[in-house]
Amino acid sequence: MAVTAEWHGEIHAHAAVIAGRISGRLVVENKLEVGATAVIRADIVARSIAVAKGAVIDGAVTVTSGEPVVRFEEKRAAR
């Protein structure tokens, strides 16, 4: 999902990289990567989650693998 993209509602995905805005609910079977420009106002369920510094998450986060959420410094340029 691009930096300028917005989604309102429920998303189900195998894997996802989010850089834009989401409100609703996000369910990811495997890995979710949240970029530094992301603003997520949603409940999240994913097997594993990596969150870049600067990202905003407002909602419940459930990691189904039991592993901790990974935090990282964004290296990619915003598009």
Q: What is the pLDDT of residues 27-61, one digit of tens each?
A: 999 999 999 999 999 999 999 999 999 999 999 99
Residue 38 in tokens: 């992301």
Neighbouring C-beta atoms of residue 5, cutoff 10 Å: 12
The C-alpha R_g of the chain, in whole angstroms, comes to 11
pTM above 0.75, yes or no: yes
The fraction of the chain above a pLDDT of 90, given in percent, is: 86
Phi, psi of 42 (to 5 degrees): -160, 160
CA torsion, ordered 40, 42, 48, 54, to nearest 10 deg? 20
